[in-house]
Amino acid sequence: MTKIVDHIRNAGDKTIFSIEVIPPIKGDNLKNLLDNIEPLIEFKPPFIDVTYHREEYIERPEPDGTIRKIVTRKRPGTVGICSAIMHRFGVDPVPHVLCGGFTKEETEDFLIDLQYLGIDNVLVLRGDPAKPFKDFKPKENGHAYASELVEQVCSMNQGVYLHEGETALSPTDFCIGVAAYPEKHFEALDHDTDFKYLKLKIDKGADYIVTQMFFDNSKYFDFVRRCREAGIHVPIIPGLKPLSTRKQLEVLPRIFHLQMPEDLIKAVQACENDQQARQVGIEWCIQQSRELMAAGAPVLHYYTMGKSDNIVKIAREVF
Ligand code: FAD
């Protein structure tokens, strides 16, 4: 497998196309996901990210009137999907690895499984709070921040496992990506604090950054400039999502803590239905992509959210 940073190096001045997919809801068919990836292979993504979804706590009414508390995982299968992507498309998968819901030992075992599968790229994340809770709480003996998880992966890369000391004959060799937020992570006090902790992830050994989605390229350009000023010199991959329904004008800013540009708001408000809004989203994303590509973005990384028809239309215009 090729490391993401090597894919970027090998591409030279050319911007790479890549995507993120999410596992299907439990009980759904993997075929739908693979069928949605298939038409995008034409644009030669060297890697595909697969999200990880932690457990959720739900309450289920029982026939006797009591409420049963259940811990369930709605979208399992990240590692299996990574394996399917490798075998079906010959593309390097990038599984997301979370602090949330894992002890350090479970993380170590998870990473060993990835190593055995020949997967050498990971996107390391803290994860959000387990639903329905508001605050993120690490599992006992788990990591509280992504920087700690970066440190664990780097230790394994040096052959140092948790309880075995420096005896590993086969150190792992992971290329490590981390997340960042051009419009600030919602919990951070201010941009400076957020930058301090992003720098910590890089200083601990992360190799590249993938950003949260944004709809205003100036946010990305400012972010890259500030990273460089702060001494962060790793590749910064912009994450892009084409808006696809009218409702997303309200939903995306609320969930992802971002601002929609006025022009996009006006264009979507003028739409009579979601089909028109989807078209506006495609056109907006094409403009964003072209400008980012012209500015030398190393990769354009599209959040597919399980559907690919709009990404195909964008990629046809841009790549
Ligand atoms: P961190 O880098 O740990 O930062 C979290 C917060 O803590 C920030 O506010 C930061 O400023 C602060 N902080 C960091 N270190 C410290 C410290 N040492 N002391 C005090 N404060 C600190 N979620 C999923 O559940 N599954 C996914 O697959 C997934 N994929 C994602 C992919 C991308 C590209 C992005 C941008 C996000 C993704 N997320 C995913 C969401 C992510 O898990 C959340 O945004 C989460 O709230 C933060 O994760 P992080 O890795 O950025 O956290």
Residue 293 lies in a domain: no
Kindly state the average pLDDT of the residues 18-31: 96
CA of 306 to the centre of ligand 1 (A): 22
Which of 94, 119, 103 has its CA nearest to residue 19? 94
Query: Bridge partners of 72?
Result: 56
Q: How many other C-beta atoms lie within 10 A of the C-beta of residue 78?
A: 22
Question: Is residue 308 a contact partner of residue 25, using CB atoms and an 8 Å limit?
Answer: no
**For the chain, how far is it from start to end, CA to CA, in angstroms?**
24
Which of 94, 55, 48 has its CA nearest to residue 73? 55
CA of 96 to the centre of ligand 1 (A): 12
Half-sphere exposure of 195 (CA within 13 A, CB side): 16
CA of 273 to the centre of ligand 1 (A): 34
* Alpha-carbon gap, residue 143 to 120, rounded angstroms: 21
Whether the pLDDT of residue 197 is over 90: the answer is: yes
Residue minimizing CA distance to atom 47 of ligand 1: 128
Looking from the CA of residue 146, the nearest atom of ligand 1 is 3
* Alpha-carbon gap, residue 172 to 160, rounded angstroms: 9
Q: Which domain holds residue 84?
A: 4-242+298-318
Residue 234 lies in a domain: yes
Residue 192 lies in a domain: yes
Residue 275 lies in a domain: no
Domain with residue 135: its CATH number is: 3.20.20.220
Residue 160 lies in a domain: yes
Residue 22 lies in a domain: yes
H or E stretch at 35: helix 30-37
Q: How many domains does the chain have?
A: 1
At 169 the pLDDT is: 74
Q: Judging by beta carbons within 10 Å of its beta carbon (0-12, 13-18, 19+), is residue 227 exposed, middle or buried? A: buried
H helices within 49-145, ranges in order?
78-89, 104-117
Per residue in 236-293, pLDDT (tens digit) is: 999 999 999 999 999 999 999 999 999 999 999 999 999 999 999 999 999 999 999 9
Which of 124, 134, 136, 257 has its CA nearest to residue 198? 124
Residue 278 lies in a domain: no
Question: Is residue 20 a contact partner of residue 49, using CB atoms and an 8 Å limit?
Answer: yes
Q: Kindly report the CA angle at 169 between 166 and 170, in degrees rounded to 5?
A: 110
Whether the pLDDT of residue 164 is over 90: the answer is: no
Whether the pLDDT of residue 16 is over 80: the answer is: yes
At 170 the pLDDT is: 84
CA of 64 to the centre of ligand 1 (A): 41
CA of 179 to the centre of ligand 1 (A): 6
Whether the pLDDT of residue 43 is over 90: the answer is: yes
Residue 262 lies in a domain: no
What residues are in contact with ligand 1 under a 6 Å CB criterion?
A: 51-52, 54, 96, 98, 125-128, 145-147, 179, 185, 187-188, 193-194, 197, 201, 210, 212, 239
* Confidence at 166, pLDDT banded by 50, 70, 90: low
